[in-house]
């Protein structure tokens, strides 16, 4: 089924690249805000008077905000013009991060990270729809990948800078930086993204129709389970590098930069593969995830091996554009909700991975146990993918039999 996206382009110069750049800056802000906390967990834990695994709950609080905010805001604002919605979402994200920088304690920090997470999924979902609507039909995944490259490049550039800032000026300074980038992104989106109207008849009830489709749920399940392994490993990567590998505090941002480089490479390669063969790309990347995440257990004690492995863990993000396009294909006319739910699923993976990784560490299995957790989650995602393929084939067979009864 072909996705229902707007194909009306405004007159004048081609808006594709200015729009993609503006949306990419928004993704850069969100990516920096989401991932920087993972490099500052020891500082946050010390300042708030909690353990590192307890500080990891701040990551889960943000992810929970995404999980709840993505469907809620997508449905409530289904009739909004897309540029207006994108600017409002980025403004809310900026406010949430400025407020996080002023959080007085552990409970308030969790609440404010939840608020900051609310616009995340809907922003990326609507941004993906805008990018896809401005691209040729056979380049939709590449267009989505370009928007997602803002998030990926955040881990390469934004997160190391924010982490350095957090280590020298305090972790609160990192969230001030994120808020400032988000403010810039809101301005750029307002200036450069065409004010594409929503499809005729768009509204909350039509968007909710996506929830009636089994393939929507199964695709979300692939992301929620299969992508969780990356967060299980990366959420606790700093203590792993310092306690197991033996890296100094000053060296950690360099390795985090390798993770970001892996995300950039994986995002670009994954989106191009998805344009050529969507389902094969999803299956292959789930197998790749399992291999790369499981390898963390065996490479953590060697600085060279773990550095290469951290780069490869970053490439796991390659599956994101593929799942985004898959959701757009199976959602019918409920595009906004389905596109937003993709990031809701990824942040369910964030919450699940960070939580299970913390459980394994707290149980005494060590920092490397997050690799085993990641392997199991990747295999779980592969199982959900197999169920999706089976259900799609069974539904196709049932349709053929209904059209040609014997």
pLDDT at 120: 92
Query: CB 147: neighbour CB atoms within 10 A?
Result: 28
Residues 201-218, mean pLDDT to the nearest whole number: 76
Please state, in angstroms and rounded to a whole number, the distance separating the CA atoms of residues 293 and 45: 26
Write the CA distances from 94 to 28, 66, 86, 310, integer angstroms. 12, 15, 12, 29
**pLDDT over threshold 80, residue 198:** no
Rg (CA), the chain: 20
Q: Are 118 and 67 in contact (CB under 8 A)?
A: no
Q: Are 26 and 83 in contact (CB under 8 A)?
A: no
Structure-block tokens of residue 176 = 């001030």
pLDDT at 203: 62
Q: What is the pLDDT of residues 295-354, one digit of tens each?
A: 999 999 999 999 999 999 999 989 988 898 898 888 877 777 888 888 878 878 877 898
Q: What is the pLDDT of residues 251-297, one digit of tens each?
A: 887 887 788 889 889 988 998 898 888 899 999 999 999 999 999 99
pLDDT at 5: 43
End-to-end CA distance of the chain: 27
pLDDT at 30: 94
Q: Which of 139, 261, 189, 142 is nearest to 21 (CA)?
A: 189
What are the domain boundaries of the chain? 16-403
| Cα–Cα–Cα angle for 234, 301, 160, rounded to 5 degrees | 40
Please state, in angstroms and rounded to a whole number, the distance separating the CA atoms of residues 161 and 182: 15
Q: Which CATH number fits domain 16-403: 3.20.20.150, 3.40.50.720, 1.20.1250.20, 2.40.30.10?
A: 1.20.1250.20
Q: What is the pLDDT of residues 46-67, one digit of tens each?
A: 888 888 878 888 888 898 898 8
Write the CA distances from 40 to 63, 102, 236, 255, integer angstroms. 17, 16, 10, 14
**pLDDT over threshold 90, residue 29:** yes
Does the pTM surpass 0.85? The reply is no
Buried b (16+ CB within 10 A) or exposed e, 59-78: bbbbbbbbbbbbbbbbbebb
Structure-block tokens of residue 71 = 């469907």
């Amino acid at each position: 089924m072909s996705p229902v996206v707007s194909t009306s382009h405004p007159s004048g110069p081609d808006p594709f690249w200015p729009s993609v750049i503006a949306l990419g800056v928004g993704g850069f802000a969100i990516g920096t805000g989401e991932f920087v906390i993972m490099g500052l967990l020891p500082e946050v834990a010390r300042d708030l008077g909690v353990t590192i695994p307890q500080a990891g709950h701040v990551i889960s609080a943000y992810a929970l905000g995404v999980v709840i905010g993505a469907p809620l805001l997508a449905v409530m604002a289904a009739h909004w013009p897309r540029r207006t919605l994108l600017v409002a979402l980025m403004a809310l994200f900026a406010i949430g991060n400025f407020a996080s920088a002023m959080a007085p304690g552990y409970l308030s920090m969790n609440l404010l990270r939840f608020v900051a997470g609310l616009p995340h999924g809907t922003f990326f979902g609507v941004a993906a729809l805008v990018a896809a609507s401005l691209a040729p039909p056979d380049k939709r995944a590449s267009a989505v990948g370009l928007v997602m490259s803002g998030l990926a490049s955040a881990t390469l550039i934004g997160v190391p800078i924010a982490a350095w800032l957090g280590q020298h000026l305090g972790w609160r300074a990192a969230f001030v930086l994120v808020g400032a980038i988000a403010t810039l992104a809101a301005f750029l989106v307002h200036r450069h993204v065409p004010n594409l109207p929503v499809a005729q008849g768009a509204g909350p009830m039509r968007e909710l129709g996506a929830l009636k489709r089994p393939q929507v749920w199964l695709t979300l399940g692939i992301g929620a389970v299969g992508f969780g392994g990356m967060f299980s490993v990366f959420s606790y990567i700093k203590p792993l590098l310092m306690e197991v590998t033996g890296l100094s505090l000053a060296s950690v941002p360099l390795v985090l930069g390798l993770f970001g480089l892996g995300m950039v490479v994986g995002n670009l390669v994954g989106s191009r593969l998805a344009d050529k063969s969507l389902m094969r790309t999803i299956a292959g990347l789930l197998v790749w995830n399992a291999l790369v995440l499981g390898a963390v257990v065996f490479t953590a004690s060697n600085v060279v091996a773990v550095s290469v492995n951290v780069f490869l863990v970053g490439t796991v993000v390659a599956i994101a554009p593929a799942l985004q396009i898959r959701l757009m294909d199976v959602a019918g006319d409920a595009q906004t909700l389905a596109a937003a739910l993709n990031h809701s699923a990824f942040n369910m993976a964030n919450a699940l991975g960070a939580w299970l990784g913390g459980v394994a560490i707290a149980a005494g299995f060590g920092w490397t146990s997050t690799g085993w957790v990641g392997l199991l989650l990747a295999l779980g995602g592969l199982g959900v993918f197999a169920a999706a393929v089976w259900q799609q084939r069974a539904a196709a067979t049932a349709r053929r039999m209904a059209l040609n009864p014997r």
